[in-house]
Amino acid sequence: MRRDLICTVLFGALVLPLSAHAGEALTSFGAGVAHPLGGADHIIAMTMVGLWSLLRGGRAVVVWPLAFVAAMLAGFAAASAGLQVGFVEPAIGLSIAVLGILVALGVRAPIVLGALAVGVFAFFHGHAHGTEAMGASHLPYAMGFTLSTVMLHAVGIAVGVGLRNLAAPLVLSAAGACAVVAGLALSGG
């Protein structure tokens, strides 16, 4: 029963709109909270960070999600300040594919290397948020998407705990593989 529910959630994420970057009005805390939940690109990337951190274990469970949030906010601030960065959407798609590969293969990266990797990915996610929020009230919006990001990391960790308790490493690998497919679709690969 649990396995069916988990698979339904994972595959359901794939049928959501694959990009949350469609120019919706981003002006409030509520819009910030809702934004990451409105597209599979955010949902998959952020849950994969939580899941990968759990698979690595130890300090990674805290350090990698925090690194993601910090770098995402740096990307948001850079975009809000007018810094133009190319290839943001393909980089977001690539980040999902790479995180999926890391989860599917159960890669146990050193803490610093994992934090650096998720930080680079997060910068692009944050830059996309900042680009979309031009003219918006930045602080409430940033607080909202930060809260959703932390919640999505927690969901990834919780799913990993549940799957690990079910002794389902194949399902964990399948979740990573699904993320790879979604990431490649988003990056145009």
pLDDT greater than 80 at residue 14: no
d(CA 105, CA 17): 26
d(CA 59, CA 10): 26
83-97 pLDDT, tens digit per residue, is: 999 899 999 999 999
pLDDT greater than 90 at residue 167: no
**How confident is the model at residue 26, as a pLDDT?**
57
d(CA 77, CA 55): 30
Could you tell me if residue 108 is left (phi over 0), alpha (psi between -120 and 50 degrees) or otherwise beta?
beta
Q: What is the mean pLDDT of the chain?
A: 82
pLDDT band at 171 (very low <50, low <70, confident <90, very high): confident
pLDDT greater than 70 at residue 78: yes
Cβ-contact 95, 125 below 8 angstroms: yes
pTM of the full predicted structure?
Answer: 0.81
d(CA 4, CA 167): 14
The three-class DSSP label of residue 57 is: coil
